[in-house]
Structure 1
Amino acid sequence: MGHDDLPTLELAFPGPERDEGVAAILSGRKTALTGLLEIYEHAGEAVPVAGQRFAVLDSEGSPAVTIELVEVRVIPMKEIDDDFARAEGRGYSDVAAWRAAHEEFFRGDGVREYLGHAPVVDDGTLVVAERFRVVEPVDSARR
């Protein structure tokens, strides 16, 4: 199955944050990602399951890499640990750094505009914690 046949996954919003996330996946630093369950619910999207593959899009909307989910958990934010935080590949030294960055993002203007309100973000906030492996980077010559 080629990249064009897969459902797509967009990290954050287009721009530097997405570009850094895609680069971290391609380098192997990023093997986990976290989404706010409320965003899935608002979009009417099912929570993904292990074994699903996605074409991860870059800021231009082009497939950059194919990933396969190896673990998906819906858990309260308080259950994220240091290992998962580091697997996010964004340079978080521990879960406290991960938590601060995710609270800022989830409470940010982009998420607020998308949901139509500021989400509640606390220890009990449900997140979709996903671990993945890279299946296939997109050949830049084919892009």
Structure 2
Amino acid sequence: MRIVLADRYPGAQFWAFGDGAEMADTLLALVLRGEKTASCCSYTAFRQDGAPAVGGYHVILDGADNPACVIRTVAQRLVRYCDVTADMAALEGEGDKSLDYWRAAHRDFFQREGGFSPEMLLVFEQFTLIERLQ
């Protein structure tokens, strides 16, 4: 299936949300329900992973590493963690969708990733669901 998807979506990256199987499945479910239409990563991770630019495709994997859906980036911007707005946090669709929840969850995530600062640069990405694969 991955070869077919790579042919159908040239340049697509295959990845899962979060940093574990449970988080991957939880965030994937939000995408499939239409509640999660944005995500972010540290600018450092973005540069290391070489993520596709606006218009690029991503094949999102579930917690078992199976392709679950395809999303397409529709907007990207650099923003500091401390400058993320309530509207941006709500687009991520996580928890109670509040900025307070977003800040706590993402601070914990970036600390696990190896570096957190309120001033850290993030790449905030908005996307649209293109295809369900499961």
TM-score by length of 2: 0.86
Return the offset for 1:47: 4.6
Q: Match of 2:14, as an amino acid?
A: T
Match of 2:123 among 108, 128, 132: 128
Structure 1 residues not aligned, in runs of 5+: 113-118
- Aligned residue for 2:52, secondary structure, equals coil
CA contact (8 A) 1:24 1:89 kept: yes
CA contact (8 A) 2:69 2:131 kept: yes
Structure 2 residues not aligned, in runs of 5+: none
- Aligned residue for 1:86, secondary structure, equals helix
CA contact (8 A) 1:71 1:132 kept: yes
Q: Does 1:7 align with 2:9?
A: no
Higher mean alpha-carbon deviation, 4-13 vs 14-23, is at: 4-13
Could you list the structure 1 runs, at least 4 aligned residues long, displaced by more than 2 angstroms after superposition: 1-6, 44-48, 91-94
Q: Does 1:83 align with 2:100?
A: no
Aligned equivalents of 2:99, 2:69: Cα separation in 1: 26
Q: Which residue of 1 aligns with 2:104?
A: 100
Could you say what the CA RMSD is over the residues aligned between the two structures, in angstroms?
1.8
TM-score by length of 1: 0.81
Identical pairs, percent: 27
Task: Say how many residue pairs are matched.
Answer: 128
Q: Does 1:53 align with 2:53?
A: no
User: Could you report, residue by residue, the CA deviation over 1:87-127 in whole angstroms, capped at 9, with x for unpaired residues?
Assistant: 1111344222211110011112xx13xxxxxx1321x1101
